[in-house]
């Protein structure tokens, strides 16, 4: 209604302005007729052009009104997009709201906007040092760098771990950083440690154990301790691949006799034997590891995870 | 309601423009014409007020972040800084078209109030302007409405392209559009003059100030765009010969030709048909520019074919304007009359030669711009015509024009006077080989074209100085003095641009290198060291800001940035410049890369642009020269009268 009145007033003023020259000059005949024609032409013509595409019933949606509606609505009734908008609105009002910064950062991390998430976590950490936020930031950095635990992410995980050693994520990613650098024993120690501190029913415990066992049981590449490829001669001599694999596994077996505290080595041996089809030998390697690490609950969890993986593989065959 | 009110106001402006056509036309003759003239003026007022109010409402919608308007949602976000919210009102397609329409209406009102003194010519010009307004307001109302609604309403906007979020881009489009649209007045006056058979000299006198004002604004707009490209796009160029730039360069070239030929027509009656033809063509090329930029054909002719509505509209407007203009020209060009003859070494001859060169350059640019599209349209290969073609085909023509330019002020009207002019300009002529040798020595490895260009630049500057020294003392009235100063400044500006372009074309190779903190790169005798990189986030972007020490910090610190605009999901480079009389040190930083040794290195682009300030100075000189000439023109309509009879005539050229 207001719109109609307003357009009518504007149209009338415009028509009056156009008709004025004819009325002022006091012309008779054609001039006066022109002024009379002008009024309906302008009033109706402009409305006619408007109504070709006009939507007079469609209300505007200025941001202030939208933000107020979001603020007045129960967050649980909002869509994820609306929740994001609400968090952003809170941060516009109070850029130092740590809770909003953290929640928005987590939301952005989950929706593949890690770069912005890292910025929000950084801002939150400037206000309050919190192990969970540090951990969230580290994880966002890891995702941002295609799974690589960069030095910046490692620093965040170390700080988080120092503040709250009971948090599983920082410890897991710290272990991953060690593992990526080839420091398997350190990785195994960190993972075993966090597994020991988690409750048996904690879903993270099983997940970390399974992942750690999988990583630690993978064959270690690179040159031998002497710096030269240990089986270069055999490869040059054209030894069959299966024979070469047996040579490698036997070498690992022999090394474990000398250094039985290498958890990663035991897991690798078990997996290698299992892969070679020597399931008994694989299980035996696990049993030997179990007896070796019977006082280390974390290590035992890793060994159990490996055993579970064998069982799953067995049932699938 | 704001959006719908805006839409209504556009409809009202369209209707007012339609009324303007008829009542202003009727005001050119017939019974009771005074009332019709005033009604035509009133119609142009209504169009201006309605379009202006619509623009204000659009800006208000941006400030309120009303994403129920599709154009606002596509070009803004809640967190964008205030200035860029305002600039976004004309930063995208629909908003820029509203600005175009508003300016058309403003110029229509300007014509109605301050147009040609001949009442009939003025009324008809207002009527033709009304026709141009109607075409564009129709396009705006029915095919490109900035108040089009969006449903469902998004919670956040899509953000204006981050590279457009720059202080210069707040004023670049309006300035450019003042130039483009300002040329519509030349079109309207020319068409009106043809219609009522106004003699060529009177018509040129009526066209000239409008063309000069528009061309000056267009120069400023293009210069701002070139400067923006130089520091914003991150690769250090200021002119790329891309179709968007060419779209503005073609009317600029024809505008330059027009303001010069109109002088010859007004003063001596020479080239009346050519002047009127240029007045029509300059604005038609402006519309062609709008078509190229706004229709999508530049991206691909297929993109145009997929969504042809806008393109067809603009093509239609181009067709109507061209047919109307050229048909009138074909039918009425004979009425413009013919001027007196002139000798081949007279001022008219040189103006004519320069006009041909400028028009030929415009043709070369037109062919290079349209050819790839026409080829693709006809099913041929997809090709691009770039700098090698334009530099080879257009630059020599421009250099010849710049070579002839300084001589014209020293030549007399009608009679030959080359010998006398050369004698007066001896000192400047001698500078050409000296400048060429100095440039060749200073810029080892400079191309012959750059050496020639630089020498011609020096010649043009010294010619302008001699022009000033020769004719300023003999100019009597203040208006005449302004005309002489304006001419000299504009001509010197062309020289500075030639010099700057030649120097920049001879710069040492740019370097792209990955730098880790503590590492250095050397360029143009300076050592640039990356001291470190820190976060420097803005309101709607995240940024890494590098700290680069020049000569270990003794030469200062440069701080380029790499920004990420999350809303637009786009990364930009903010260049750091360090200017000196020798030129600009230019640094931009890019992506960070992890090296195998664990250190982080940043992609860095380093360049040195010698004498680059000369380009900016040239543009400023041309704009000031244009402004002074316009002011002088308003103050003094009469030809310049020399106090000293022995001095050569000094009409502004």
Taking contacts as CB-CB distances below 8 angstroms, the residues of chain A near B38 are 20-21, 24
Nearest CA in chain B to A53: B142
pLDDT band at B432 (very low <50, low <70, confident <90, very high): confident
- A242 alpha-carbon distance from chain centroid: 41
Whether A263 and A189 share a structural domain? yes
Of B5, B39, B598, the CB nearest to A21: B39
State whether B66 and A61 contact (CB < 8 Å). Answer: yes
The overall average pLDDT reported for chain B is 89
Give B579's strand partners. B584
Give SS3 for B387.
helix
Q: Is A112 helix (H, G, I), strand (E, B) or coil?
A: coil
Query: What local confidence, expressed as pLDDT, does residue B488 receive?
Result: 96
Q: Are residues A211 and A300 in the same domain?
A: yes
State yes or no: pLDDT of B17 exceeds 90.
Answer: yes
The pLDDT tens digits of the residues spanning B618-651 come to: 999 999 999 999 999 887 654 443 333 334 444 4
Residue entry with tokens 């250095």 = B520
Q: Which of A133, A164, A195 is the last residue of a domain?
A: A164
CA distance A297 to chain B (A): 35
Closest Cα in chain A to B595: A150
What is the edge-to-edge ordering of all strands in the sheet holding B576-580?
A: B511-515, B600-610, B583-594, B576-580
The range of the structural domain enclosing residue A286 comes to 184-217+243-317
What integer pLDDT is reported at residue A211 of this predicted model?
87
Residue of chain B whose alpha carbon sits nearest to that of A66: B155
Contact between A296 and A192 (Cβ < 8 Å): yes
CB atoms A66 and B155 under 8 Å: yes
Pick from B548, B542, B271, B239: which is nearest to B395 by CA? B239
pLDDT surpassing 60 at residue A136: yes
- Residues in chain A with CB shorter than 8 Å from the CB of B598 are 151
Range in B27-36, B162-171, B471-480 with the lowest mean pLDDT: B27-36
Q: What are the CA-CA distances from residue A315 to residues A217, A267, A308, B275, B286 (Å)? A: 20, 20, 11, 92, 76
Give the closest of B14, B78, B145 to A63, CB-based.
B78
- Tokens 């976590």 label which residue? A121
Q: Are residues A127 and A195 in the same domain?
A: no
Task: Identify which of A246, A245, A274, A268 has the alpha carbon closest to the alpha carbon of residue A256.
Answer: A268
Residue A86 in any domain: the answer is yes
Give the torsion through C-alpha atoms of B406, B408, B410, B414, to 10 deg. Answer: 170
Q: Crossing angle for the helix pair B2-27 and B119-143, nearest 10 degrees?
A: 150
Considering only A154-163, B230-239, B306-315, which range has the smallest mean pLDDT?
Answer: B306-315
Is the same domain home to A140 and A190? no
pLDDT for A230 beyond 80: no
Count chain A–chain B contacts defined by CB atoms under 8 A.
147
Q: How far is A309 from chain B (nearest CA, A)?
A: 35
pLDDT reported for residue B344: 85
Decide which of A215 and B106 is more confident: B106
Q: How confident is the model at residue A84 (pLDDT cuts 50, 70, 90)?
A: very high
For residue B366, pLDDT over 90 is answered with yes
ipTM: 0.79
CA distance B34 to chain A (A): 8
Q: How far is CA B590 from CA A294, B94, B607, in A?
A: 53, 33, 14
Backbone angles phi, psi at B342, to 5 degrees: -145, 155
Closest among A252, A177, A257, A169 to A217, alpha carbons compared: A252
Residue pLDDT, tens place only, A165-186: 888 899 999 999 998 888 888 8
pLDDT computed for residue B307 by the predictor:
62
Q: Please, which residues have CB within 8 angstroms of residue B349's CB and are 6 or more apart in sequence?
A: B342, B343, B411
Looking at the structure, tell me whether residues A190 and A122 fall in a common domain: no
pLDDT attached to residue B650: 43
Residue-wise pLDDT tens digits, A254-270: 888 888 888 888 989 99
Residues comprising chain B, all counted: 653
- CATH 1.20.120 residue spans of chain B: 1-160
What's the longest Cα–Cα distance across chain B? 90
Are A153 and A254 found together in one domain? Answer: no
B135 band by pLDDT with thresholds 50, 70 and 90:
very high
Domain count, chain A: 2
Q: Do B5 and A151 touch (CB under 8 A)?
A: no
Taking an 8 Å cut-off on Cβ atoms, the answer to whether A119 and B542 are in contact is: yes
Cβ-based neighbour number of residue B651 at 10 Å: 21
The shortest CB-CB distance from A60 to any of B11, B68, B594 is to B68
**Prior bond of B205 cis (ω within 30°):** no
The CA-based dihedral angle spanning residues A132, A134, A136, A142, taken in that order and rounded to the nearest 10 degrees: -150
- A309 within a domain of the structure (yes/no): yes
* First and final C-alpha spacing in chain A: 75
- The CATH number that applies at residue A141 is 1.25.40.10
Domain assignment present for A149:
yes
Among B293, B295, B286, which Cα is nearest to B321's?
B286
The region that residue B32 occupies, defined by phi over 0 for left and psi between -120 and 50 for alpha, beta otherwise, is left
pLDDT, position A104: 95
Q: Enumerate the residues of chain B whose CB falls inside 8 A of the CB of residue A21.
A: 34-39, 42
A190 and A110 share one domain:
no
Best mutation target, B8, B70, B85, B141, to test chain A (most A CBs within 10 A): B8
Q: How far is A59 from chain B (nearest CA, A)?
A: 6
| pLDDT tens-digit map of B588-597 | 999 888 787 7
Residues forming a β-bridge with B528 = B521, B550
| DSSP sequence for B477-517 | SHHHHHHHHHHHHHHHHHHHHHHHHHHHHTPPPPEEEEE-T
Q: Are residues A99 and A138 in the same domain?
A: yes
A109 and A159 in a single domain? The answer is yes
CA distance B177 to B103: 8
Domain co-membership, A315 together with A192: yes
Residue A24 lies in a domain: no
pLDDT in tens, A257-309: 888 888 888 989 998 888 888 888 888 988 988 888 888 888 888 888 888 88
pLDDT, average across residues A1-24: 87
Instruction: Give the number of other CB atoms < 10 A from CB of residue A236.
Output: 9
> CA B355, CA B367: separation in Å to the nearest integer?
18
- B46 and A58 in contact by Cβ < 8 A? no
DSSP state of A183: -
| Range B553-562 average pLDDT | 94
CATH architecture of B1-160: Up-down Bundle (1.20)
**CA–CA distance from B169 to each of B63, B232, B525, B540 (Å)?**
18, 10, 33, 17
Chain A residues with beta carbon closer than 8 angstroms to that of B16: 14, 18, 42
Task: Indicate if A110 and A213 belong to the same structural domain.
Answer: no
More confident residue, A223 or B335: B335
Tell me the pLDDT band of B306, cut-offs 50, 70 and 90: low
Pairing mode of beta strands B570-574, B576-580: unpaired
Share of chain B above pLDDT 90, in %: 62
Chain A residue with the nearest C-alpha to that of B598: A151
* Contact (CB, 8 A) for B315 and B227: no
Of A42, A56, A63, the CB nearest to B64: A63
- A208/A303 same-domain check: yes
pLDDT tens digits, residue range B242-263? 888 899 999 999 999 999 999 9
Query: Which of B50, B64, B542 is opposite residue A116, by nearest beta carbon?
Result: B542
| pLDDT at residue A236 in the model | 75
Check whether B653 has a pLDDT greater than 70: no
Q: Which among B469, B321, B456, B328 is positioned nearest to B402, based on CA atoms?
A: B456
Chain centroid offset of residue A223 CA: 35
pLDDT, residue A108, reads 93
The answer to the question of residue A19 being in a domain is: no
Q: Is A112 within the bounds of a domain?
A: yes
Q: Which of B13, B11, B20, B50 is nearest to B38 (CA)?
A: B20
Residue A226 lies in a domain: no
Q: Which residues of A touch B9 (CB under 8 A)?
A: 10
Which among B3, B141, B151 has the least Cβ separation from residue A49? B141
Average the pLDDT over B574-586 and give the result: 93
C-alpha distances (whole Å) from B131 to each of B44, B48, B66 are 12, 15, 33
CB B253 within 8 A of CB B401: no
Secondary structure, 3-state, B133-148: HHHHHHHHHHHCCCCC
Quick one: CA dihedral B218, B221, B224, B229, positive or negative?
A: negative
Q: What is residue A108's three-state secondary structure?
A: helix
Chain center to CA of B488: 20
Of A193, A133, A126, which is closest to residue A160 (Cα–Cα)?
A: A133
Q: Which of A41, A52, A61, A88 to mutate to test the interface with B (most CBs of B within 10 A)?
A: A61
Residue B450, pLDDT above cutoff 50: yes
> Percent of chain B, pLDDT > 70?
95
A250 pLDDT above the threshold of 80: yes
Decide: helix, strand or coil at residue A280.
helix
Task: Write the pLDDT tens digit of every residue in A102-129.
Answer: 999 999 999 988 888 998 999 999 999 9
Under an 8 A CB cutoff, do A17 and B45 touch? yes
Report the helix count and the strand count for chain A, using DSSP H and E: 16, 0
Specify the pLDDT at position B639: 44
Distance CA B359, CA B253 (A): 7
CATH number at residue A211: 1.25.40
Residue A304 falls inside a structural domain: yes
- Across the range B335-364, mean pLDDT stands at 90
Q: Does the pLDDT at position A100 exceed 70?
A: yes
Across the range B369-393, mean pLDDT stands at 84
pLDDT higher than 50, residue A95: yes
Matching residue, tokens 């929640």: A103
CB within 8 Å: B141 and A62: no
What is the rounded average pLDDT for all residues in chain A? 86
């Amino acid at each position: 209604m207001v719109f109609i009145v307003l357009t009518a007033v504007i149209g009338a003023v415009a028509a009056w302005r156009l008709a004025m020259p004819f009325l002022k000059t006091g012309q008779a005949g054609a001039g006066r007729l022109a002024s009379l024609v002008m009024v309906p032409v302008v009033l109706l013509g402009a409305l006619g052009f408007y109504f070709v595409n006009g939507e007079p019933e469609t209300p505007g949606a200025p941001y202030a009104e939208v933000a107020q509606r979001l603020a007045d609505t129960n967050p649980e009734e909002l869509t994820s997009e609306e929740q994001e908008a609400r968090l952003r609105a809170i941060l516009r009002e109070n850029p130092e709201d740590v809770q909003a910064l953290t929640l928005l950062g987590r939301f952005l991390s989950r929706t593949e906007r890690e770069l912005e998430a890292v910025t929000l976590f950084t801002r939150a950490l400037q206000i309050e040092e919190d192990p969970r936020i540090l951990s969230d930031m580290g994880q966002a950095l890891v995702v941002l760098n295609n799974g690589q635990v960069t030095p910046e992410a490692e620093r965040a995980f170390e700080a988080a771990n120092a503040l709250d050693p009971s948090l599983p994520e920082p410890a897991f990613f710290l272990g991953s950083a060690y593992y990526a650098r080839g420091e398997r024993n350190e990785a195994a120690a960190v993972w075993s440690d966090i597994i020991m501190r988690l409750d048996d029913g904690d879903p993270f415990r099983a997940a970390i154990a399974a992942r750690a066992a999988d990583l630690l049981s993978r064959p270690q590449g690179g040159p031998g301790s002497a710096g030269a490829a240990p089986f270069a001669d055999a490869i040059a001599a054209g030894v069959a691949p299966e024979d070469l694999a047996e040579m490698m596994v036997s070498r690992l077996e022999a090394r474990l006799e000398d250094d039985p505290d290498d958890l990663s080595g035991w897991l690798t041996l078990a997996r290698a034997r299992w892969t070679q089809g020597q399931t008994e030998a694989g299980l035996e390697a696990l049993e030997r590891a179990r007896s070796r690490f019977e006082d280390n609950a974390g290590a035992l969890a890793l060994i159990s995870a490996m055993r579970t993986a064998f069982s799953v593989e067995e049932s699938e065959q | 309601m704001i959006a719908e009110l805006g839409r209504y106001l556009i409809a009202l402006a369209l209707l007012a423009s339609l009324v303007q056509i008829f009542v202003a036309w009727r005001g050119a003759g017939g019974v009771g014409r005074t009332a019709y003239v005033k009604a035509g003026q009133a119609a142009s007022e209504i169009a201006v007020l309605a379009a202006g109010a619509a623009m204000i409402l659009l800006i208000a919608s941006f400030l309120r972040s009303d994403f129920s308007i599709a154009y606002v949602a596509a070009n803004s976000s809640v967190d964008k800084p205030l200035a860029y919210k305002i600039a976004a009102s004309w930063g995208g397609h629909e908003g820029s078209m509203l600005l175009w329409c508003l300016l058309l209406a403003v110029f229509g009102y300007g014509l109605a109030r301050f147009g040609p003194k001949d009442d009939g010519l003025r009324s008809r010009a207002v009527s033709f302007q009304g026709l141009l307004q109607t075409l564009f307001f129709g396009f705006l109302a029915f095919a490109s409405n900035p108040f089009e609604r969006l449903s469902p309403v998004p919670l956040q906007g899509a953000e204006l392209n981050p590279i457009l979020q720059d202080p210069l881009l707040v004023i670049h489009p309006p300035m450019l559009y003042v130039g483009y649209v300002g040329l519509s007045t030349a079109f309207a006056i020319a068409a009106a003059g043809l219609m009522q058979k106004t003699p060529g000299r009177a018509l040129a006198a009526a066209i000239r100030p409008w063309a000069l004002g528009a061309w000056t604004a267009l120069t400023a707009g293009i210069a701002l765009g070139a400067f923006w490209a130089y520091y914003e796009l991150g690769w250090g160029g200021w002119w790329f010969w891309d179709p968007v730039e060419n779209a503005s360069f073609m009317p600029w070239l024809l505008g330059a030709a027009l303001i010069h030929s109109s002088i010859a027509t007004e003063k001596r009656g020479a080239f009346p048909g050519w002047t009127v033809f240029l007045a029509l063509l300059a604005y038609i090329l402006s519309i062609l520019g709008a078509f190229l930029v706004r229709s999508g054909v530049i991206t691909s002719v297929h993109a145009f074919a997929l969504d042809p509505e806008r393109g067809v509209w603009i093509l239609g407007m181009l067709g109507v304007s061209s047919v109307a203009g050229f048909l009138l020209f074909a039918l009425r060009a004979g009425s413009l009359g013919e001027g007196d003859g002139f000798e081949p070494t007279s001022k008219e001859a040189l103006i004519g030669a320069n006009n041909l060169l400028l028009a030929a350059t415009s043709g070369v640019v037109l062919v290079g711009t349209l050819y790839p599209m026409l080829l693709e349209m006809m099913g041929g290969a997809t090709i691009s015509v770039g700098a090698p073609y334009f530099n080879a085909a257009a630059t020599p023509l421009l250099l010849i024009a710049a070579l002839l330019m300084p001589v014209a002020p020293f030549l007399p009207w009608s009679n030959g006077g080359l010998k006398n002019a050369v004698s007066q300009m001896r000192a400047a002529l001698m500078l050409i080989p000296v400048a060429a040798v100095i440039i060749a020595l200073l810029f080892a490895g400079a191309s012959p074209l750059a050496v020639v260009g630089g020498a011609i630049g020096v010649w043009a500057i010294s010619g302008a100085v001699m022009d000033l020294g020769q004719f300023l003392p003999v100019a009597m009235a203040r208006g005449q003095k302004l005309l002489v100063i304006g001419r000299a400044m504009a001509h010197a500006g062309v020289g500075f641009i030639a010099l700057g372009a030649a120097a920049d074309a001879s710069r040492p190779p740019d370097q792209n290198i990955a730098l880790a903190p503590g590492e250095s790169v050397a360029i143009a005798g300076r050592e640039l060291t990356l001291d470190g990189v820190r976060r420097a986030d803005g309101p709607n972007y995240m940024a890494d800001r590098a700290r680069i020490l020049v000569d270990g910090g003794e030469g200062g610190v440069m701080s380029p940035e790499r920004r990420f605009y999350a809303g637009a999901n786009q990364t930009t480079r903010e260049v750091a410049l360090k200017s000196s009389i020798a030129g600009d040190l230019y640094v931009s930083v890019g992506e960070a890369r992890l090296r195998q040794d664990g250190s982080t290195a940043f992609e860095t682009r380093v360049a040195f642009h010698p004498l680059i300030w000369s380009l900016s100075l040239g543009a400023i000189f041309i704009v000031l020269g244009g402004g002074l000439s316009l002011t002088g023109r308003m103050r003094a309509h009469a030809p310049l009268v020399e106090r000293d009879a022995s001095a050569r005539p000094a009409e502004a050229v």
